[in-house]
Structure 1
Amino acid sequence: MPLWSRAQQQEFRGRVRGCLLGGAIGDALGAGIEFEPLEQIRAAHGPQGVTGFVPAYGRRGTVTDDTQMSLFTVDGLIRAHISRDGGAWHPPSDVHRAYLRWHATQHDWGPDERRPDLGWLGREEWLYAQRAPGQACLSGLSGPDADRLGTLDQPRNPHSKGSGTVMRAAPFGLLTAWDPALVFQLAVECSVLTHGHPTGYLAAGAFAVVIHAVARGGTLEEGVHLALALLSERPRHEETTAALRAALDAVRAGAPSAERVEELGEGWVAEEALAIGLYCALVAEDVKSGLLLAVNHSGDSDSTGSICGNLLGTLHGETALPPELVAEVEGRGTLLQLADDFVLELVHGPELHSAAHWTERYPVGV
């Protein structure tokens, strides 16, 4: 790992915070209108659709399974880096165990204090809530063989390409010291833990690569072209490649609109969710306008908002996020704490691994 200057650490921290918090804001903006057709959204909220948070799951600013699973992705990646000290280095296994801990939040009343593996994130009681989780995410992590690791050769849910595979993939792109091809591969290997259709796991890989390029200081366009190059080397990439190209074409087609968003699909499947989130980030005049464009359509509004928020938050950093939305989004303290811990692990990991406090927060080997 190269030495980080103070300025580099501060910039990286702002991008990581922006990625997680931006994704949560986009998720929460879409949560209250997910499943609603565009005409109904406009009838209820005006011709522009929603312009801020609307109630979902009993309050404003509520996040869904998209944010929940993204948080557990980060938790798994932190533990993977700690595990490397002990000679164990297989990040998909650590991420799989993190997703199993997320799965417990979907059926348990609260954290089981008898489980030493939960760490601090697994003891956050607000996460113990079902927020319309995808069936492939649930079924891929349950049943008598729930502990079996899905692999490319034997993926879980081999016919599923739902958006649940891509909406949790942004954290892989924050591994800025990694080669882009390795980031792509890791996102793919962690996607098949629940979604085995090639379009699903390749969309997750492509999204991670775009985030990676931006987190390194590049542009969204540079990230897309790199993702297209990596996709071209993979079998059955055609649907994902076509979706990315459609997003680029939509940028050149004219003024942004909800109708243009809907030409890219509804977002229930991975490649459509990625295309919509990416298009809205590419045409955004500012973070808030991009997020509102990403959620005001007929379809999977929370997932497309989350993907757009991940992209814009990584691109512009935490300070560019709309303060009135930052202040109200659910779980902000947890999101920012986890983002900071992720940065600490990547920048100062070896110095932390002998500290009992750190390994209690992120226990490995249990």
Structure 2
Amino acid sequence: MELTREQEQDYRSRVRGCLLGGAVGDALGAPVEFMTLSAIRSEHGDQGIQEYVADRGQNRHGLVTDDTQMTLFTMEGMIRAGLRRDRGIGFNPVGPLHQSYLTWYETQTRRGSSGDWPGWLQGESWLYAQRAPGNTCLDALAASVAPNGEWQRYGAPAENHSKGCGGVMRSAPLGLLPPTWNDVDSAVFSWAAEAAGLTHGHPTGKLSSGALALLVHRLVVGADLTAALDTVMAELARHDHHEETASALRRARDAAATRPATPETVERLGGGWVAEEALAIAVYCALARPRPEEFLDALSLAVTHSGDCDSTGAVCGNILGALHGETALPPQLTFEVEGRGTMLQLADDFVWEFTAHHLLHGEYGPWTRWSERYRG
């Protein structure tokens, strides 16, 4: 089955919307992370965060954090996994994703690329900025490599018990496979859970990541938000240790149905520091402000609280971007989000790999410039 021209345009819009929406939410929430709700209101008014706050050190607006950085490396890893599929290896993104996350690790620990890792993202100088990278991710990735730079634990799960939100906040791209991949729900969930497990060992950290990826995939396929969440809940019930994630999502859905759309309601769901809370807050805000014209209102709600504002904003933006597509993005924020050009290139490359790969590279060769761009 091939996508029609109209379907392909819709798909491209959702991929772009998901990636850019997450970045906008991330940049909106980053400057107020670690602030209390009362401090946010004192500084920005009762309406909460509606526009970018300038970086206090450089007076720049729209700067993203490690949430967006790692999401971009997830996208690159997915593209390389697609290319491997046509070399007779089959599609399984976890190995290429581990390699991509190690490339991100290098951007956070070196001033420039060593050339040891593949992919063109390592050449993007803006990605070397350190924006409070998560220690759990850094430590787990450092443990994957021996001192001489060789693989030590390639593809192995992290040896920790963390359920921090560092896995879920980067997992949306695993759900961006096209509507022609309409029978891979369980696989998408499992790939995302396993990829999150590369850095976060707690079952809830992994299952929440699987839940986000599957939610995004169902939205890309064309489901509405309620139907997509029903699919997620059914998939969760098939997995051991699903109770924390399922309970958090039930509370988010109940809050959207019964409580006012306020920061106080958000804070009843937690602070977003752990995976299931970040997912629940993002889902609640998307349900509370579900219309395309409410995109900014949903993001504002997602970042105006005393918690991990950038991560909850990023995940909410991923969800709404996949639901509505790029034309719903608030232009007054999107035009100056850091790295927009890079994100659009990556989003388009992702679409081409999964809809027109036969025009870019052969099944077993020869190597093309595309193959070199996404070598692994």
TM range (shorter): over 0.9
Name the counterpart of 1:297: 305
Name the counterpart of 1:361: 373
Q: Structure 1-normalised TM-score?
A: 0.95
Name the counterpart of 1:188: 193
Separation of aligned partners in 2, 1:226 and 1:121? 34
Task: Note the C-alpha offset of 1:219.
Answer: 1.0
Query: Superposition pairs for residues 246-285 of structure 1, below 5 Å?
Result: 246-284=251-289, 285=291
Q: Percent identity?
A: 53
Give the CA RMSD over aligned residues: 1.4
Name the counterpart of 1:345: 353
Runs of 4+ in structure 1 off by over 3 angstroms are 143-147
Q: Structure 2-normalised TM-score?
A: 0.92
Name the counterpart of 2:104: 102
Task: Note the C-alpha offset of 1:150.
Answer: 5.0
Deviations 1:232-256 (A, max 9, x none): 1111111001000000010112320
Q: Are residue 241 (structure 1) and residue 240 (structure 2) matched?
A: no
- Give the SS at the match of 2:356: helix
Relative to structure 1, is the Cα distance of residues 240 and 150 closer, same or farther in structure 2, using a 3 angstrom cutoff? farther
Name the counterpart of 1:81: 82
> Do the aligned partners of 2:285 and 2:298 also contact (CA within 8 Å) in 1?
yes
- Give the SS at the match of 1:106: helix
Q: Are residue 307 (structure 1) and residue 306 (structure 2) matched?
A: no
In structure 1, give the amino acid aligned to 2:134.
Answer: G
In structure 2, give the amino acid aligned to 1:291.
Answer: L
Task: Note the C-alpha offset of 1:229.
Answer: 0.7
User: 8-17 or 85-94: which moved more?
Assistant: 85-94
In structure 2, give the amino acid aligned to 1:327.
Answer: F
**How many pairs were matched up?**
358
Q: Are residue 170 (structure 1) and residue 172 (structure 2) matched?
A: yes
Separation of aligned partners in 2, 1:254 and 1:94? 42
Task: Note the C-alpha offset of 1:175.
Answer: 1.5
Task: Note the C-alpha offset of 1:147.
Answer: 4.1
Deviations 1:117-142 (A, max 9, x none): 43221111110111111111111100
In structure 1, give the amino acid aligned to 2:54.
Answer: P
Name the counterpart of 1:331: 339
- Give the SS at the match of 1:195: coil
Deviations 1:59-108 (A, max 9, x none): 21000000000000010010011112222334210010000001001011
Name the counterpart of 2:93: 91
> Do the aligned partners of 1:150 and 1:192 also contact (CA within 8 Å) in 2?
no
Task: Note the C-alpha offset of 1:220.
Answer: 1.2
Name the counterpart of 2:215: 210
Gaps of 5+ in 1: none
> Do the aligned partners of 1:261 and 1:297 also contact (CA within 8 Å) in 2?
yes
Name the counterpart of 1:132: 132
Deviations 1:226-277 (A, max 9, x none): 1111111111111001000000010112320000000000000000000000
Task: Note the C-alpha offset of 1:44.
Answer: 1.3
Relative to structure 1, is the Cα distance of residues 255 and 126 closer, same or farther in structure 2, using a 3 angstrom cutoff? same
Q: Are residue 25 (structure 1) and residue 24 (structure 2) matched?
A: yes
In structure 2, give the amino acid aligned to 1:162.
Answer: G
Q: Are residue 159 (structure 1) and residue 161 (structure 2) matched?
A: yes
Gaps of 5+ in 2: none
Deviations 1:275-307 (A, max 9, x none): 000100111141000000000000000000000
Separation of aligned partners in 1, 2:177 and 2:354? 8
Name the counterpart of 1:123: 123
Separation of aligned partners in 1, 2:325 and 2:251? 27
Separation of aligned partners in 2, 1:340 and 1:280? 28
Name the counterpart of 1:142: 142
Separation of aligned partners in 1, 2:241 and 2:260? 32
Separation of aligned partners in 1, 2:118 and 2:28? 29
